[in-house]
A and B are shown apart, each in its own frame.
Chain A
Amino acid sequence: MLKGNIDDGRVDPSGIVLMTSAAYRQIGPEYELAKEKARFLSKFALDVIKAKVPDLVPHLNILTGCTDLNTRKFEVLERLDKVSNPVTYKAA
């Protein structure tokens, strides 16, 4: 469907984002598990796209993180701006 939006000219092809989030409420194991889950889901989703819609891959920017449900603040774990800024950012 994202590829369809690109093909039909409804969206900017350089601005497609694969964003993964895992949610948590408490610091401690729940937070650490959320980070692991987010990284897993990001890799999993990218593998699915590579297998199913490889034409979409060159358009993808990737943003992986977790969301604190107490504040809705999204914490970036990994960011890959493939198109406009080919620099990988990895949080500690």
Chain B
Amino acid sequence: MNTGTDYLLDLNARHSRTFIDLAMERRRYRGEHPTEIAALKCMDGRLHLPVMTRTAVGIIQPFRNLGGKFDLGWPFFQATLDNWAQYSISRGRHCLIFVTYHFARGDVHRGCRGFNYDTNAARDTAIKLKNQFERIYGKGAVVPIVCGIETDLDALILHGEDGRVVDLAEVKEGLSGLELESMLRSLYPSMPERIFKDMTPLVEGNIKHSRMIRTSNRPIEDAEHKEWVLGVGRGFDWLHAINTAFIVGPFDPNLFDAI
């Protein structure tokens, strides 16, 4: 393997084989957890939810743009997202949408460059977008939740319906299934049971993953930007090597600025 391009093509070939091999397992998982899950994320290459939640690729549908900034008024984004939601609903499935922002607990300058490292602005924008989803899709079948992604420990920060926040890296060790369920139900009291059940494995996966990152004492430089690929377009979820690519979806009408 001689170049970065060769590495990418080899990675894709290996990933594609694995993806095909796991087709039946994915169908089984989908049968058990039918909720369609999407994540609106920044283009930042450190944000890989399948890795962070220990979920197989193909379960979480990613949408990426600079800063994780989206607006349901954008024509192409609106059409793509609505197609996804309508497809899910037509099959009798709920939709769960992670509306994310990101930051690093150890240093503000490892946070989101798309927001000039202003975590409050990034979070407020995510809240606004979540409210836009609720205004358009109402409550019940399509559920958006605000979720911070803390990149030093790869931890999810869940924002509850009443504004309370739970940092999954701070969840006590040995939390029982019942305690976890109780915590999540208090955060999302109106969440449909089906979504609740399908979200729980992702939360459990992130608790385990962030704990593993903490105990491994991952060097801070590994959490710094090291991307060497600029990906533009869609279909990149196979590129699951963390901190490798900035990925810009074709959603922003000002694509020039996003790139």
Contact = CB atoms under 8 A, between A and B. Distances in A.
Contacts of B228: 2, 5, 11-12, 15-17
Contact of A48 (B3, B12, B259): B259
Most chain A beta-carbon contacts within 10 A, residue among B5, B113, B230, B233: B233
Majority DSSP secondary structure for residues of B touching A: mixed
Interface string B210-243: 0000000000000011111111111111100000
Interface stretch (B14-22, B132-140, B156-164): B14-22
Contact of A21 (B58, B231, B255): B231
A79 B235 CA distance: 18
Interface in A1-41: 1-2, 4-5, 10-12, 15-23, 37-38, 41
Interface in B93-139: 113
B8 A21 contact: no
Nearest to A73: B16
Contacts of B8: 17, 19, 63
Given A16-B228, A17-B8, 7 more contacts: A1-B227, A20-B232, A41-B232, A49-B230, A52-B259, A67-B235, A79-B5
Interface of A: 1-2, 4-5, 10-12, 15-23, 37-38, 41-42, 44-45, 48-49, 52, 61, 63, 66-67, 69, 71-74, 76, 79, 81, 83-85
20 contacts: A1-B113, A2-B228, A11-B227, A12-B4, A15-B4, A16-B230, A17-B8, A17-B230, A20-B232, A21-B234, A21-B236, A23-B235, A37-B233, A44-B232, A44-B255, A49-B259, A66-B235, A71-B16, A74-B16, A74-B235
